Structure 1
């Protein structure tokens, strides 16, 4: 189960028990997860960083193993980390859930694709040995910066008014100027 599955069938206690929790609220930001309980599903997986909705869940089913936590953004019930991806047995079946997956920013990320492949294989009872390792806990090494050039002309802008809406992240008003082409 992915992302908004925990918001489905809100009046079904059996579905909430099956999937492992119920969606409560969210904000959104870029964040990174950390690996949780030791489990074969996450052997060789180190988490990743992406923009997504910061889901908070309630009505948690304690009969599960949390394999990934979100530690940034809003938390619920005084927790320091929000359960983010988990697995559980249900009868003779297996359930995998991750809160990742709002849009293409996450869906295109190799870390998300790796996690979902792991979850599908585990839920189907397939061998996880064929899944590529994704140990991304190493620090990102920045490439060397180039010297700032002083021979460039400043950008020129034109007033466009409300003809072309240009909303900036976090702003409720539109910009009314646009950069002119460079040549």
Structure 2
């Protein structure tokens, strides 16, 4: 009797979808090194495992931006009201948002924000007010909240960076800060916006900070935290 041998049958497996990130870089503020920083930002997101697309301009926000997390690094970048409304809808529906440094510097004056700027400030949870008293840049220690998953395990580190004074919403949780004579100055804060998570990182002014391993770790953590948990492994 002849016994047939079992054959190995290869079964095609569906590829595991990677989380996606959209990095939006926009603006004409000559004091911000946006385009060099864009490369460092994309590298940090890719290192975290994101399939990352970088846009030099806000056009991708005209429609439904298909990404698990959107990262904004703008410097007086011009958004249309429709783009900001679309962004707010996307985050409210569950898309993560990470905003960096000068994204909170809005085009309209703080005392009379236009509707589009007010919408962005409400979404991020803060807006730039001033650099504070001089000097507007110093060497300082970044202190971190050891009890929040976004910053847990990241040791305090020193940086040379410019200062921002922020007006923050009541519901943000400050998870990184620097000490000043006037009290703690927020550097990183997090909040919930509808079904979405929002993180703002005040750091990011120039390549000195982008060369800091802890800065890249913060960006990676922020992107992962902002991704809605039930999207992980989609």
TM-score band, normalised by shorter chain: 0.5 to 0.7
Q: Highest relative contact order (Cα 8 Å, sep 6+), 1 or 2?
A: 2
- Which residue number corresponds to residue 125 of structure 1? 228
In 1, Cα distance between equivalents of 2:173 and 2:146 = 6
TM-score (normalised: structure 1): 0.61
More strand by share: 2
Q: TM-score, normalization: structure 2?
A: 0.48
Contact 2:188 2:202 in 1 (8 A): yes
Structure with the higher fraction of residues in helix conformation: 2
Ranges in structure 2 where 5+ consecutive residues have no aligned partner = 1-98
Partner of 1:51: 160
Name 2:102's counterpart in structure 1. Answer: 4
Distance in 1, matches of 2:165 and 2:229, equals 30
- Displacement of 1:125 in angstroms is 3.1
Corresponding residue of 1:15: 120
Q: How far is 1:53 from its partner?
A: 0.7
Q: Is the Cα–Cα contact under 8 Å of residues 68 and 84 in structure 1 kept in the other structure?
A: yes
Q: Summarize deviations over 1:121-162 as a string: whole Å, max 9, x none.
A: 1111369xxxxxxxxxxxxxxxxxxxxxxxxxxxxxxxxxxx
Within a 5 Å distance, the mapping from 1:14-163 to structure 2 comes to: 14-26=119-131, 27-36=136-145, 38-58=147-167, 60-72=168-180, 79-125=182-228
- Cα RMSD (Å) of the superposition? 1.9
Runs of 5+ in structure 1 lacking a partner? Answer: 128-183
Q: CA deviation at 1:37?
A: 7.1
